[in-house]
């Protein structure tokens, strides 16, 4: 549609991104669901032929996932993934439940655009870099050296850590990548709040605490609450291929529609 040319693209649409997943309410079941969602996005990246690199991975005792982050890069990666941020809710009978009762658990997804060199300059004097031994189940290997890296951005207090690799240099590189994305995201939020003092474009500005999607296993249904769209093949959806891509496209179309309404409202 020619009219869609009126919709301004965001400066970050062509950027790569950092994906962060964190288990929410629901104990081990929430952690198992977090692991499945992380796998789903890894499969989606493969489906879109994007590069996917795990930066952090903190598993739970029974195969779940407490927290993980990854760097995703490729053609318009951020443009496709930007509406995935928020609270994802699962409803199903957990493997650990003997009574067969349906439980509700949650996990949170954060999508941070990665800045280009031009977008963001960090003064090395503003950084404190500490090294330590990797702890807990986070590292993939038993660490006998001080390979874990923690970087603090002193002006903002933002912290970024990495202990995935044996190499301190590689961990520092990954921690910097995450820190840059966090600082860039903060910068963008400040710019956005200045720009949108009027009615906010709802779909793109909902906070991390907002429930965006429900995965209902007994009814084999996934529902995105922002556009009130349901798909009735949850198993295929969780494979992170064409059904997830279909939902992503619907969200992009709806966001474009909202942007057009916004533009027309300003002109009137």
47 neighbors 169 (Cβ within 8 angstroms): no
How many other C-beta atoms can be found within 10 angstroms of the C-beta atom of residue 87?
20
Residue 223 pLDDT > 90: yes
Query: Helix, strand, or coil here: 226?
Result: coil
Q: What was the pLDDT predicted at 147?
A: 84
User: pLDDT confidence of 121, banded at 50, 70, 90?
Assistant: confident
Instruction: Report the alpha-carbon distance of residue 141 to residue 222 in Å, rounded.
Output: 36
Q: Which residue has the higher pLDDT, 2 or 74?
A: 74
Instruction: Report the alpha-carbon distance of residue 178 to residue 171 in Å, rounded.
Output: 11
For residue range 242-255, list pLDDT tens digits in order.
999 999 999 998 98
Residue found by looking up tokens 């991975």 in the block: 57
> Minimum mean pLDDT among 45-54, 131-140, 144-153, 221-230: which range?
131-140
Q: Which domains does the chain have, with CATH numbers?
A: 11-115+202-267 (3.30.70.1660), 124-191 (3.30.160.20)
Q: In degrees, to the nearest 5, what angle opens at C-alpha 111 toward C-alphas 81 and 55?
A: 110
53, two tokens: 């690199």
Helix or strand (DSSP H, E) at 34? helix 27-47
Residue 8 pLDDT > 60: no
Mean pLDDT across 192-196? 54
Q: What was the pLDDT predicted at 40?
A: 98
For residue range 145-177, list pLDDT tens digits in order.
678 899 999 999 999 988 877 888 889 888 888
């Amino acid at each position: 549609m020619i009219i869609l040319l009126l919709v301004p693209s965001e400066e970050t649409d062509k950027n790569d991104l950092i994906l962060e997943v964190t288990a929410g309410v629901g104990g081990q079941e929430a952690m198992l669901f977090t692991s499945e969602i992380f796998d789903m996005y890894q499969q989606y990246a493969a489906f879109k032929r994007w590069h996917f690199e795990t930066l952090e991975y903190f598993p739970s005792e029974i195969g779940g996932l407490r927290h993980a982050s990854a760097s995703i890069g490729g053609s318009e990666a951020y443009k496709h993934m930007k509406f995935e941020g928020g609270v994802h809710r699962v409803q199903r009978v957990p493997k650990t439940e003997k009574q067969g009762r349906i439980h509700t658990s949650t996990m949170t997804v954060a999508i941070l655009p990665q800045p280009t060199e031009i977008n963001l300059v960090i003064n090395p004097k503003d950084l404190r870099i500490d090294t330590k031994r990797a702890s807990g189940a986070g590292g993939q290997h038993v660490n006998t050296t001080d390979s874990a890296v923690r970087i603090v951005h002193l002006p903002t207090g933002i912290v970024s850590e990495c202990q995935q690799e044996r190499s301190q240099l590689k961990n520092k590189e990954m921690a910097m990548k995450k820190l840059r994305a966090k600082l860039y995201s903060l910068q963008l939020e400040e710019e956005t709040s200045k720009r949108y003092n009027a009615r906010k474009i709802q779909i793109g500005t909902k906070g991390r605490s907002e429930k965006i999607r429900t995965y209902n296993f007994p009814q084999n249904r996934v529902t995105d609450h922002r556009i009130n769209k349901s798909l009735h093949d949850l198993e295929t959806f969780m494979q992170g291929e064409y059904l997830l891509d279909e939902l992503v496209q619907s969200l992009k179309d709806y966001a474009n529609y909202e942007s057009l309404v916004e533009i027309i409202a300003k002109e009137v």
